[in-house]
Structure 1
């Protein structure tokens, strides 16, 4: 195992393409090569103080980064050809910025803490009001449809203008929306698209039945779960979370009673029901049919190893007394492997135990019992059978579920408890793990670092084009991010694009209405002028 040097910087975030990493340090946005974070590719000054940055978001083509804070959202181009775009919160009458994210390459969606949302065209600086999104749940109230073949993006918006939930499909490139659809939900909690973009699932409050509704991309209801034929009247809490398989063939519904219902995505009928047992006994099965149960052991010298547990065995409980809190009931986590062949789950009662299920056979494939509670179980994005367990100890536990080998603890001398996440690499490339702390980050190489001959800035040849020493850095950035040619507005603009957002206030006695769209200082539209529109671009 190898490890990079400590890199000073907060909010270390891997790009969409997996080859770049962005972080903030000393009021600068810095971008480097993910496999060699010490090799700085670009840096630019930002207005937001480091302590105020809440998140960094990459565009889908890995060419732009959005720096999000409570009062300001900045968009910086990695190649520094395009001038930065800045969206200010103005008087802050709508509250603080809650989130910002890219929609395609040319649009940015921002939302405020009280539900107000707007989508901005980064080419023209104009914004479109999206109304009041639901802000009563932790999940985002909007989701972009994952459709890479279409030039027209689709955004599903969950709103609650009165006492009823509504679903709206918005098309940013066309600046239009479908007529809002009234939902049959009591209090919708979240929604999610299937990876192939064919289905949109809306999750209702856990006390409602049906608990989940499935819609087509044109907002037509197709199915609900449980259906009238399988309606359960036990009065308990229903579905807690919903997870799609990567191939969109199966959807897993995690319930508060500790079970997981697997539905096929053709008729949305149950395939199987998964249950986590507090006692595991397979002594009545032949040895070759028994599911391996790996138990971690920690020696006095902090050496970690795994042994097969003798059965019967009971996974250690994660709490000592019963609870009625919904967040501490049922399934804690469920995630599919990158090819949909395996499902990893954890139960709130046994947070140190990870269950691996074979989706094809609908049976338990393996069980891993850790010494400490697991914080996150993450499948590798390209190696379908490899999973990493993060227990908050700075140790990456790697387990290849397709082999009969025990999990391996990749121990690194990291201070504190950094968060571990995969660096997106090809299946044939060596593994890389990002360990991000509050003000620094490292890259771990469980199989050794990739050997890159020569200077990372020279001798790179892709598609017949060679980047020569002393030439512009942008050629290397094109290669690393795989971006398309820059749109015309990037090269045509020669002035600094600053978008200043200020909130309009309604006159006394008038209906409360906010219009915070851009006002173009150089030229005003003569068609319709909103008297409350007081923002500007210059």
Structure 2
């Protein structure tokens, strides 16, 4: 979760990937919070040299032995902070104005700077002071480059002239491993498979379905151009792609190709041919899945889910009148057991598919407002759902074999209805998560009382003044 980090009075929070640290800027104060679920919660403060910090990002913790680091940047200076205790670790000064993006590289000792107009990307080594340069990156967006899991080779899309190019670089030295000229019209992005075996690159939707599959060393392995029976005249192209998370043997078995027409082609990684196509439509047959409809239960904005028929769900899900089409969200559960999706044509519906030999629709959740965010727990089959709601702050949760729930969260109401959620890592059975907006964040978990009512139990709250007191709980 990375929010804007302006120096104003509102809390704008950056949360580490595992949820165990958070930070924000208040004027020239860098404030870092740790141990959010502990009674021994800690707040550390350091001073930045200038106001105007526009980037605040945590480096992912990649092993139990690695330290924790935080990056802050303004137009002219990049600072890397070591946590525990909070202190300045390194600085990069005299940055060229107009940089498009600043990121951690393969680890906490590297910083990537994408320069104005995508002229180059500079990789700064904080260990040696060396600067490696790659010219003509296609995009500063995170989909334009990626590090291979575990071994950290860099794959990056370039646009030196009229054609797209994929290059692979060695870790640390960034020596060139391979260079491939792509047969794309306008490559939209690349993604490594989580097992590190494959790189997928997809072309602009206007060219029809086109996904290039490369080996880890940059050799073209397959080109997927859609199902053989698909009429090219009706092929509206690819919106986005997503790999399944590794199964118990460590393999990513499925590549999901989300299309502009709202369907999803599932490619098995043994052959990268389409095994199944998922369609965002409600079936009227008797074996239809569990479909749940959000309903308001009070004038205060409290809500719950009621099971409904497929025809009723279809009727309350009008197609979008906006220009956006296609699959807007896809995310796999741990081990690839489930796939949750949102189709922008019916942006208020979350579709949950059970993977397996024959994928099928497991459930659908129909809401009053568009879905903003869906997030699987890191190790359990629990899905948090955020909708854009300017009534009461609430979180929606789905898990197999139980009725989905909507639970109020005791935090400040956000007038634009935009909240963020992020799970905390770890095997704690309480399954804690962050919930909040630019005004306030709370950390807590869902619990059920003796009467069967679900509550959000607050462990900590956070505002510009630091950690707050435990705010108790609110029921569904």
Please classify the TM superposition score into its range, dividing by the shorter chain length: 0.7 to 0.9
Q: Helix, strand or coil: the match of 1:312?
A: helix
Aligned length: 424
Shift of 1:407: 2.5
2:77 aligned residue:
72
Shift of 1:54: 3.1
Distance 1:232 1:104, change over 3 A: farther
Give runs of aligned pairs for residues 326-345 of structure 1, distance below 5 A: 328-345=324-341
Paired residues of 1:207 and 1:236 also in contact (CA < 8 A): no
2:420 corresponds to 1:420: yes
Q: What TM-score do the two structures reach when normalised by structure 2?
A: 0.82
2:386 corresponds to 1:357: no
1:407 aligned residue:
405
Shift of 1:63: 1.3
Paired residues of 2:442 and 2:458 also in contact (CA < 8 A): no
Distance 1:227 1:257, change over 3 A: closer
Q: Helix, strand or coil: the match of 2:160?
A: coil
2:442 aligned residue:
442
Provide structure 2 residue ranges, at least 5 long, that are not aligned to the other structure: 1-8, 247-251, 448-456, 461-476
Shift of 1:142: 1.2
Q: Helix, strand or coil: the match of 1:123?
A: coil
Distance 1:9 1:35, change over 3 A: farther
Distance in structure 1 (CA, Å) of the matches to 2:223 and 2:68? 40
Distance in structure 1 (CA, Å) of the matches to 2:199 and 2:112? 20
Q: Which has the higher strand share?
A: 2
Distance in structure 1 (CA, Å) of the matches to 2:80 and 2:69? 7
Shift of 1:10: 4.0
1:489 aligned residue:
none
Shift of 1:381: 1.2
Over residues 438-465 of structure 1, what are the superposed CA-to-partner deviations in whole Å (9 max), with x where a residue is unaligned?
A: 35432233233679xxxxxxxxxxxxxx
Distance in structure 2 (CA, Å) of the matches to 1:81 and 1:107? 19
Distance in structure 2 (CA, Å) of the matches to 1:144 and 1:19? 23
Paired residues of 1:11 and 1:55 also in contact (CA < 8 A): no
1:96 aligned residue:
99
Distance 1:296 1:175, change over 3 A: closer
1:389 aligned residue:
385
Over residues 182-218 of structure 1, what are the superposed CA-to-partner deviations in whole Å (9 max), with x where a residue is unaligned?
A: 1121111100000111000011111225511000011
Distance 1:97 1:337, change over 3 A: same
Provide structure 1 residue ranges, at least 5 long, that are not aligned to the other structure: 1-7, 452-538
Larger Rg: 1
Shift of 1:317: 3.6
Distance in structure 1 (CA, Å) of the matches to 2:227 and 2:165? 23
2:136 aligned residue:
132
Distance in structure 2 (CA, Å) of the matches to 1:96 and 1:218? 30
Over residues 147-176 of structure 1, what are the superposed CA-to-partner deviations in whole Å (9 max), with x where a residue is unaligned?
A: 2xx4xx211011011111111111232341
User: 264-273 or 175-184: which moved more?
Assistant: 175-184
Distance in structure 2 (CA, Å) of the matches to 1:198 and 1:85? 34
2:309 aligned residue:
310
Paired residues of 1:430 and 1:449 also in contact (CA < 8 A): no
RMSD: 2.6
1:249 aligned residue:
253
2:256 corresponds to 1:258: no
Distance 1:364 1:212, change over 3 A: same
Shift of 1:81: 7.9
Q: What TM-score do the two structures reach when normalised by structure 1?
A: 0.73
Distance in structure 1 (CA, Å) of the matches to 2:205 and 2:269? 21
Paired residues of 1:243 and 1:335 also in contact (CA < 8 A): yes
Distance in structure 1 (CA, Å) of the matches to 2:36 and 2:225? 45
Give runs of aligned pairs for residues 275-286 of structure 1, distance below 5 A: 275-277=279-281, 279-282=282-285, 285=286
Give runs of aligned pairs for residues 111-510 of structure 1, distance below 5 A: 111-115=114-118, 116-135=120-139, 138-147=141-150, 150=151, 153-209=152-208, 211-226=210-225, 232-234=231-233, 236-247=235-246, 248-277=252-281, 279-282=282-285, 285=286, 289-298=287-296, 299-313=298-312, 314-317=314-317, 321=321, 325=323, 328-360=324-356, 361-383=358-380, 385-393=381-389, 394-400=393-399, 402-416=400-414, 417-438=417-438, 440-447=440-447, 448=457
Distance 1:352 1:243, change over 3 A: same
Distance 1:353 1:91, change over 3 A: closer
